[in-house]
Structure 1
Amino acid sequence: MNPAVARQFDALCQRLAAAPQRLELLDEAAALAVQQGDQARAATLYLDYIAHHQRHAGAQFNCGYYCRAAGLYPQAIAHYQRALELGISQPEEVYTNIGVIYNEGLLQNNNAIAAFQEALRIAPGYVPALYNLANCYEQNGDKKQAAHYFSRVIHYAPNFAMAYVRLADVHQAETSADPLIAKLQQLMTTQRVPLNERIDAAYALGKLCNDCGAYAEAWQYYQQANQWNATTMPAWDENRQRALLQSLQVEFNQPLPRATVDADAAQQPVFVCGMFRSGSTLLEQMLGGHSAISSGGELEFFPRLWQRIQAQGDGGLRDYLAQQREQDFVSLGRDYLAFVTERLGDVSYFTDKRPDSIWLLGLIKRALPQAKFIVTRRHPLDNALSVYFTRLGSSMAYANRFEDILRYIEVENELLRHWQQVLGDDLQVVNYDQLVAAPQQQLEPVLAELGLDWQESCLDFHRRNNSVRTASVWQVRQPLYQSSSGRWRNYADFLPELPELPTQP
């Protein structure tokens, strides 16, 4: 907080301490903390004072809201449930919020589905519950149910653009005359439709045209989508990205001790990372086919820490590392493993798959000396094309220009070469194109490094009954195929004149 806001916040807290029953002071202080980006402080405030409002349904709801924003998921659910017990109005909203926590925070899709269904039992046409239920079924690989519930959303909210966009994810267009294409074209070209929705419609149109081989039309839609998307965020700053690279090279400039696999260890984390759209989801699914390995998906523990570090500015990492004692890293590792246990249960080997975690490997290794790392790589043109065809957030602003994507890949390749020197054999690189062509040949050394034997079940990954929360959700529900290798040739006539391609580590 800036000094003036901090003084205002402290004054509110003093008044609240003197009159803890005054809910309006609690709400004002919590809201001020959130305005300053400190969700954790807002949640702590509410948890400190909620005992004074045990019979107030709205206060219980707000406590759940702030706990959810701070990542305190069990506490959030407990207070949402207390609000329901107190007879809060619009309980369908509360059940939907609980479902989102189970789905996105605790990675428990069965509990999420139950919560959404309870919301729909109360209010059958409640669109947020229908939409989130469709998301759950899509993550579970159930196209029929996902399409059904996206269609139900459209029935109750025919102007809800994202329902059409998400329906395109589970729909295979056979020709450019597909009715869904016509509807999305209408949404994309209607000026009164918000720009954010028109951007999503353009990406969806690109996907559907790619489905039916209309590559020129697909490229035009993807170009428009990226041009519009670029206007919603600052341009990618290559110099700043390289400055971060140099900072990591300075702060982690010595080889870190190599971990040995301990068969008796309670938990063995395996971090899967690399460039977005480079095959990390497929690799995690295949590893998860092994009887000893549990799939964690995109766990948010270290990314949340990284956000807090980066919020401190360009010197944030240096200052953070300078303040940490060895015992602090030990505690960080324990907190992470407790976080994993809360979501995955009592597991031994497990994967944590976040592509952008490649920037955190040194930090993770300090907290978890036993950690192993796998970085996925792919032909740069195929990788760049797949990124260009995906709407990514403002933290990945490079995705809006094809040339920027290739430059980002080169920066990340430089980072990978550095981590290879620092981490040695604790880091392995898996090439997507080689993986789909010769899966056992690529996976056996990976498993051996983890102290595990090869299992044929790794090739049955597409039959797994698990949830997948990435853009690759439908690709990994199919047996291995090689059609994505060399896909860039379908668009060779439309690609900009390119500089030298990034060199693979």
Structure 2
Amino acid sequence: MAPPPTQAEQHTQQAQTLFQAGQLPEALIIYRALSEQSPDDANHWLMLGVIYSTLNQLEEAVRCGKKVVTLAPNAVAGHRNLGSFYLRSGQHSNAESAFRTALSLEPGNSINHNNLGIALAARGELEPAIECYRSALQSEPQFGEARHNLANAQQAEFGPDQANADFMLAVQHDPDNIQYLYSLAQNQAHLQRHQDALTTLQTLLLKQPDHADAYLAIADAYNNMGRIQHSITSVRRAAELKPDSTAILLLLGNLLVQHGSPEEAFISFDQALKMDPANVAAQYGRGRSLFQSGRFQEALDVYADVPETNNIGIDIIAARASVLERMGNLDDCLSVLTTEIERGNTGTYLLTAYARLGRKYGHTQYAIELLEANLQKISLDDEQLRVTHFYLGQSYDREKQYDDAFKHYRAANDLRGYNHDATADKAFTLDVIRCHPKTTYDRLPQGPEHTDITPIFIVGMPRSGTTLVEQIISSHNDVFAGDELIFIPEMLDLLDSGQCYPRYIDTLDQSQCDSLATRYLENLAQLAPGYAYVTDKLPANFTYLGLIHRLFPNAPIIHCRRNPVDTCLSCYFQDFSAHHSYAYDLVSLGTHYRQYHAITTHFREQLEIPMLDATYETMVADTETESRKLIQYCGLEWDDQCLKFYESSRRTKTASFDQVRQPIYTQSVQRWRHYEQHLGPLLSALGTLTDEKQS
């Protein structure tokens, strides 16, 4: 018969029970007493160290860990724990030493190899860390943590390409591990494999539905895929899960500004300010949303309240200058900028605002000198470098120094960091054409022929003259300039079809078509109360023309066309505020243009969708004749104000806002000839389209 437990054994058992139940403070009291009664018992000190570490009392944990390895120098667990305590304390060299001792005592132990790799990686020694993780996996091939650590180290050292296979293996080893799934999704996003990232994140959410960061990553994936409303919806869900996060509200606000919903953005920034009234980023965001809404004076008032002593003070001044510029107060704008430059304040966005005024005030060469000096600042991040290169490109172009201009435009685009998925682009084009055969299309249900408000769709490639056409039409007294409305893609994004556009087109029934048409018209009525006509010049609407014509059979469709090389070059030279991944590479631009051409040709020639071609070069050569054609096609009476479009006070949010102040922008015709020697990749990608005057 076993002897009854001693009092010390009873106390030890009690402490272990409390520890296992998570009652750490109570367990700590007993282990302290036991360590005082038996100071040479390494097990008591071992447990004390673990408890102190769990309670985040790391200094005490290290003290206990040292005691353990002194009392039991050959006990692997003691050195392993001490290394972990050092690691959590930021003492990476000491952690490495402790883990090496543990490894020397058990050289074949996979945990010891993994731990040493963690310490080395924390010190930035990634290649030795990678070898440690590989050694751990040789001992235990199914060791998920070591596989995950190996993937992280390879990603940091060699990039996402080298890491992806190991991230996938880590998930295979432990498919329920949330961190492994999240890391895989992040790596897939780095590789621009956004659909794969989305699939991984959706798997993660099935296992942990309240993972706010996963929703943020999903939002990023959707945004990169062009699914705008889904992106915003995902950020809203993250905000619900973390209602106290000003960072998420700021992200939501910035996303809404980026996608042309400034009124909703204002609400998000306002909520962030209620939580943190001193948050300068939220104040700045409020100003941006007011600016985009055309509420320029209110934006100025907001910017005036932001303390200039803050580290973004110069950006606030640049923002104020931009508002004055947009209001047409160019002299005041120049005065603000010149004053700051004379003070030695040369923030990136202040300098770019100054460069924009170079054409009017004749200081382009000085702006170039300032921007070139800005490039030498080691403090610039990639975004500031990119913007500086873009404005140097514009400035050199203005000075007719075309080789220098192209050098900077290329540098700016290279800094974008986006990889356009040309394969997906081509597959989408084939899908659009395949899903719109003539026989099926003619049988699709149709929306109302007569409506209280008439949309005017202006489509085409970006930089093909859509802004010019809208400016002319919207100068008519009966027309409201809607600008680039995202109503069509948003509605289709939310359509509960179980498939992506265009694969559900042949399944649409009359009630769905009526619902889509009604929702769109309600959006227009809310946007432009009292107007009979509203323009929608979202260029990408060309992909939806088949559906648009069925929903609104009598709505005018104006197809803006321009020399394809000029169009692509203008895209390449444009610092788009929204995401156009194809525009940052000459080959991608050429192939994307071919996809656009194939889709519009199919809709015009095979489906016989009526549309008026508005050719940029013809508009420039004979503005009045072409303007009259536009107005007549829209079913409107002629209005002489349509020839004075450059005097219109309406806001322009897109890249062409500076051009609409000029009677006509003739400098853009055959502009590509100045850059012909640099455009070989673009010309090859365009192929036979290069020879067309317009396409």
What range is the shorter-chain TM-score in?
A: 0.7 to 0.9
Structure with a larger share of its residues in helix: 2
* 2:390 corresponds to which of 203, 207, 216: 203
Q: Which residue of 2 aligns with 1:100?
A: 288
Structure 1: distance between partners of 2:413 and 2:268: 41
* 1:252 corresponds to which of 413, 436, 446: 436
Contact 1:245–1:415 (CA under 8 A) maintained in structure 2: yes
Q: Which residue of 2 aligns with 1:270?
A: 456
Structure 2: distance between partners of 1:281 and 1:296: 11
Once the two structures are superposed, residues 23-60 of structure 1 have per-residue CA deviations (whole angstroms, 9 ceiling, x without a partner) of xxxxxx6555333325425536867998xxxxxxx689
Q: Which residue of 2 aligns with 1:299?
A: 485
Question: CA shift at 1:114, angstroms?
Answer: 0.7
* 2:215 corresponds to which of 33, 37, 42: 33
Q: How does the TM-score come out when normalised to structure 1?
A: 0.78
Could you say if the C-alpha distance between residues 292 and 494 of structure 1 is closer, same or farther in structure 2, counting changes exceeding 3 Å? same
1:179 matches 2:379: no
Structure 2: distance between partners of 1:190 and 1:320: 52
Q: Which residue of 1 aligns with 2:80?
A: none
1:332 matches 2:520: no
Q: Amino acid of the residue matched to residue 419 of structure 1?
A: F
**Deviating more after overlay: 185-194 vs 271-280:** 185-194
* 2:636 corresponds to which of 452, 455, 470: 452
**Deviating more after overlay: 275-284 vs 294-303:** 294-303
1:464 matches 2:648: yes
Could you say if the C-alpha distance between residues 177 and 99 of structure 1 is closer, same or farther in structure 2, counting changes exceeding 3 Å? closer
Structure 2: distance between partners of 1:467 and 1:276: 18
Structure 1: distance between partners of 2:468 and 2:537: 10
Contact 1:188–1:199 (CA under 8 A) maintained in structure 2: no
Once the two structures are superposed, residues 56-89 of structure 1 have per-residue CA deviations (whole angstroms, 9 ceiling, x without a partner) of xx689977975785788666655765776x6852
1:482 matches 2:666: yes
Question: CA shift at 1:393, angstroms?
Answer: 7.0
Structure 2: distance between partners of 1:249 and 1:89: 52
**Deviating more after overlay: 357-366 vs 243-252:** 357-366
Question: CA shift at 1:419, angstroms?
Answer: 1.7
Q: Which residue of 1 aligns with 2:409?
A: 222
Task: After TM superposition, list the pairs within 5 Å mapping 1:341-420 onto structure 2.
Answer: 341-392=525-576, 395-420=579-604
Could you say if the C-alpha distance between residues 338 and 60 of structure 1 is closer, same or farther in structure 2, counting changes exceeding 3 Å? farther
* 1:473 corresponds to which of 657, 677, 683: 657
Once the two structures are superposed, residues 394-443 of structure 1 have per-residue CA deviations (whole angstroms, 9 ceiling, x without a partner) of 95333334344334323322221112136646321110000111123223
**Deviating more after overlay: 335-344 vs 41-50:** 41-50
Could you say if the C-alpha distance between residues 191 and 79 of structure 1 is closer, same or farther in structure 2, counting changes exceeding 3 Å? closer
Q: Which residue of 2 aligns with 1:233?
A: 418
1:43 matches 2:236: yes
Question: CA shift at 1:459, angstroms?
Answer: 0.9
Question: CA shift at 1:286, angstroms?
Answer: 0.8
Contact 2:303–2:320 (CA under 8 A) maintained in structure 1: no
Could you say if the C-alpha distance between residues 144 and 63 of structure 1 is closer, same or farther in structure 2, counting changes exceeding 3 Å? same
Structure 2: distance between partners of 1:152 and 1:304: 44
Question: CA shift at 1:248, angstroms?
Answer: 0.9
Runs of 5+ consecutive residues of structure 2 not aligned to the other structure: 1-200, 220-230
Structure 1: distance between partners of 2:617 and 2:588: 23
Q: Amino acid of the residue matched to residue 296 of structure 1?
A: G
Structure 2: distance between partners of 1:76 and 1:390: 25
1:286 matches 2:286: no
3-state DSSP of counterpart to 1:468: coil
Once the two structures are superposed, residues 241-263 of structure 1 have per-residue CA deviations (whole angstroms, 9 ceiling, x without a partner) of 2221111112222356999974x
Could you say if the C-alpha distance between residues 405 and 174 of structure 1 is closer, same or farther in structure 2, counting changes exceeding 3 Å? farther
1:114 matches 2:114: no
Once the two structures are superposed, residues 258-316 of structure 1 have per-residue CA deviations (whole angstroms, 9 ceiling, x without a partner) of 99974xx321111112111111111111111111211111122234456679xx9xx62
Contact 2:480–2:533 (CA under 8 A) maintained in structure 1: yes
Could you say if the C-alpha distance between residues 75 and 466 of structure 1 is closer, same or farther in structure 2, counting changes exceeding 3 Å? closer
Q: How does the TM-score come out when normalised to structure 2?
A: 0.59
Q: Amino acid of the residue matched to residue 233 of structure 1?
A: Y
Contact 1:91–1:119 (CA under 8 A) maintained in structure 2: no
Could you say if the C-alpha distance between residues 140 and 365 of structure 1 is closer, same or farther in structure 2, counting changes exceeding 3 Å? farther
Q: Amino acid of the residue matched to residue 242 of structure 1?
A: K
Structure 1: distance between partners of 2:232 and 2:268: 16
Q: Amino acid of the residue matched to residue 483 of structure 2?
A: G
Contact 2:286–2:299 (CA under 8 A) maintained in structure 1: yes
Structure 1: distance between partners of 2:490 and 2:339: 35
Q: Which residue of 1 aligns with 2:349?
A: 162
Question: CA shift at 1:501, angstroms?
Answer: 4.3
Structure 2: distance between partners of 1:331 and 1:152: 55
**Deviating more after overlay: 411-420 vs 71-80:** 71-80
Structure 2: distance between partners of 1:153 and 1:323: 60
Could you say if the C-alpha distance between residues 153 and 409 of structure 1 is closer, same or farther in structure 2, counting changes exceeding 3 Å? farther
Structure 1 vs Structure 2 CA RMSD: 3.8
Structure 2: distance between partners of 1:87 and 1:4: 30
Highest CA radius of gyration, 1 or 2? 2
3-state DSSP of counterpart to 2:567: helix
Contact 1:377–1:430 (CA under 8 A) maintained in structure 2: yes
Q: Amino acid of the residue matched to residue 89 of structure 1?
A: P
Structure 1: distance between partners of 2:361 and 2:319: 27
Q: Which residue of 2 aligns with 1:442?
A: 626
Once the two structures are superposed, residues 77-133 of structure 1 have per-residue CA deviations (whole angstroms, 9 ceiling, x without a partner) of 55765776x6852176545433433444xxx312x5314413423635655554444
**Deviating more after overlay: 299-308 vs 408-417:** 299-308
Q: Which residue of 1 aligns with 2:675?
A: 491
Runs of 5+ consecutive residues of structure 1 not aligned to the other structure: 13-28, 51-57
Structure 1: distance between partners of 2:544 and 2:593: 16
Could you say if the C-alpha distance between residues 287 and 150 of structure 1 is closer, same or farther in structure 2, counting changes exceeding 3 Å? farther
3-state DSSP of counterpart to 1:205: helix
Could you say if the C-alpha distance between residues 101 and 365 of structure 1 is closer, same or farther in structure 2, counting changes exceeding 3 Å? farther
Structure 2: distance between partners of 1:156 and 1:369: 59
3-state DSSP of counterpart to 2:455: strand
Identity among equivalent pairs (%): 21
Q: Amino acid of the residue matched to residue 398 of structure 2?
A: D
**Deviating more after overlay: 410-419 vs 216-225:** 216-225
